[in-house]
Chains A and B, each alone.
Chain A
């Protein structure tokens, strides 16, 4: 059976088609988030079907996750990112005991038992300082691509200390640091460290190894280093980390008689 998982995140929508029989991802893709997220998700879904040479009748079920999961009405199930990232990472790396996911508007630390079951989790969604939103703000302020920040951070010799707990105030602080002539690389690395520190505080005292980093922020150079430094443990990046949630959603679909055509 083939299942679809859609992760409607705050920054982008990710989707995966998964062949349960062969335990194989058939197609995956990503599109920027927008106001009409159901339409965007549907377009992405159609594209993946086309890429995989499938039609809707061959899809046995669709599950949605992410903050916009309830808006994806053609999905038969809506599941939280906690469950989906846990299932996704367990499929990809069964030895994982901790998952760190830094999303556009929240961040999560998920503790897993042997067998992949969620033991406990913590989420930060009240403060942007521990989320990808902080990086976006910096990228916007510096008029550069979000991805470019990682490359710049690699050049840092002495990361700046961002002392403000709030992104709004931190923005002022960053402007001040740059105005004082602090190297850009050090400022960006300082922002990464600040995010990592927030996530580490979220994780609390109990973080078991191996730790896997999922979500799009895991792709940014420097973020893994920042997390490893604050946690004092190695952090592994999940394969294609931006799709872990969507994969987990696909793995969470329970076969139903309802076809996806019925919901569209």
Chain B
């Protein structure tokens, strides 16, 4: 078995030149990773360890050039839709229309991490009345105004209702500052009661018909607004075609996850997997390129598994990770301390499930939207986590929290208690801020303790 070394940014400089000499073919957004530090001040890259493959290079370059891509799209006459809070459903609709690109302005919550707070977005948000007691999503407030991180969208679509309190407050502040927002409501998912017709949702969930109908009506309004923006009706045929492509993306990601998480050792690092998984909800503003990137990554991973070449030793402890981290460095840290990711729930598991293709498109999308883990109970989310931990032979669970993110205030403990009760494996909850350098020793201690505990439990 070969274990590949992960690369620092400095090492990637040399690796990039080597790949170029070997005839590396890159897309238009290609280039050395270093330029994102020099030009865009993405300083955090200097602290990360990367996979050494051209496929990973393409993934990173794609992620870090979204702003340019959006500006180019606008220059070409595309309409830009900012979709917020809903994770994965509205983009499927937007990309069903020609000449429309969707992106997540609330994705600006990663900017303070990438730029190591040199962007000052969090401080500016505080000056706008949204302080550190709120989720780092507050970074989008000044980003909307300064235009440095994404172009101002032509239409902003935001879900409301069963969303976290702090997000709701931030989005309302945005509206009060003059940004027009198209709101659509999603109710908190509940189980059908006696006398109600139960509708099956993706992810082994169910909801009463009345809730599905409510969401479907809301999505009809969204479809109308998108159609008006595009100057073309978003009809069932276009939506069905969009769903088929979205499902192609989801199938590819699921195959990638399955291959990576079930391999005897990790063929792709946790960090690149996290970034890859995030693409499924927004396509990083280019759906076709997302497909190409997944195909590249999958090819690389399958080849590595075939050659028995991995990035983490096989004895690494199999960790199931819940929630995305505010500081990407944490994903490296787990691997440095002897763990590997064997499964994940980054809060958008409904975007991993296929949108039903045998239903009227809006009905299918309504059911998918209602399967969002964040609109249901923590218990239902925990049940899926338990199932996936079992399927993926997880030895430990990490529930990471983002400071101020109120949707997970109690959820972490619920998930941990249910995992402990049903699986009896060790769990920890970690609070990871956008830049966790000062906390690295204590984060490291916790993760190391988790790895030690899980490893000790291998011996009977």
Contact = CB atoms under 8 A, between A and B. Distances in A.
A82 B442 CA distance: 13
A125 B442 contact: yes
Contacts of B61: none
B413 interface: yes
A117 B458 CA distance: 10
Nearest to A118: B453
Contacts of A81: 445, 449
A106 B439 CA distance: 13
Given A83-B456, A117-B456, A106 B442 contact: yes
Contacts of B448: 80
A121 B457 CA distance: 13
Given A123-B428, A206-B420, 4 more contacts: A80-B449, A82-B453, A123-B449, A126-B442
A119 interface: yes
A204 interface: yes
Nearest to A108: B449
A81 B452 CA distance: 10
Contact of B426 (A120, A125, A126, A205): A120
A141 to B, nearest CB: 25
Nearest to A82: B449
A58 B157 CA distance: 71
Interface in A55-110: 67, 79-83, 106
Interface in A184-205: 204-205
Nearest to A113: B457
Contacts of A79: 452
A214 B431 CA distance: 26
Given A117-B457, A119-B424, A67 B449 contact: no
A104 B445 CA distance: 15
Interface in B423-460: 424, 426-428, 431, 439, 441-442, 445-446, 448-449, 452-453, 456-457
Contacts of A82: 449, 452-453
Interface of A: 67, 79-83, 106, 117-123, 125-126, 204-206
B417 interface: yes
Contacts, number: 51
Contact of B456 (A118, A126, A205, A206): A118
Contacts of B442: 67, 106, 125-126
Contacts of B453: 82-83, 118, 120-121
A222 B441 CA distance: 31
Interface string B34-69: 000000000000000000000000000000000000
Interface size range of chain B in the complex: 10 to 19
Contacts of A125: 442, 445-446
Given A67-B445, A120-B453, A121-B449, A126 B431 contact: yes
Which has the most chain A C-beta neighbours within 10 Å: B420, B427, B441, B452? B452
17 contacts: A67-B442, A67-B445, A79-B452, A80-B445, A83-B456, A106-B442, A106-B445, A118-B456, A118-B457, A119-B424, A121-B428, A122-B428, A123-B449, A125-B442, A125-B446, A126-B439, A206-B420
A118 B456 CA distance: 8
Contacts of A126: 431, 439, 442
Nearest to B442: A125
Interface of B: 413, 417, 420, 424, 426-428, 431, 439, 441-442, 445-446, 448-449, 452-453, 456-457
B445 A121 contact: no
Which has the most chain B C-beta neighbours within 10 Å: A81, A123, A126, A204? A123
Given A117-B457, A204-B413, A204-B417, A83 B445 contact: no
Nearest to A80: B449
A121 B426 contact: yes
A122 B420 CA distance: 12
Task: Please list the 8 inter-chain residue pairs (A to B) with the smallest Cβ-Cβ separation, ordered nearest first.
Answer: A82-B449, A80-B449, A125-B442, A118-B453, A83-B452, A120-B426, A80-B448, A80-B445
Contacts of B420: 120, 206
A123 B446 contact: yes
Contacts of A205: 417
Nearest to B454: A118
A123 B445 contact: yes
A106 B445 CA distance: 11
A80 B452 contact: yes
B161 to A, nearest CB: 31
A150 B362 CA distance: 67
Contacts of B413: 204
A96 B37 CA distance: 52
Which has the most chain B C-beta neighbours within 10 Å: A79, A117, A120, A205? A120
B205 to A, nearest CB: 27
Which has the most chain A C-beta neighbours within 10 Å: B413, B441, B449? B449
Nearest to A78: B448
Given A119-B424, A126-B431, A83 B449 contact: yes
A120 B449 contact: no
Contacts of A206: 420
A122 B453 CA distance: 12
A78 to B, nearest CB: 8
B379 to A, nearest CB: 16
A206 B420 CA distance: 10
Contacts of B426: 118-121
Contacts of B427: 120
B421 to A, nearest CB: 9
Nearest to B443: A125
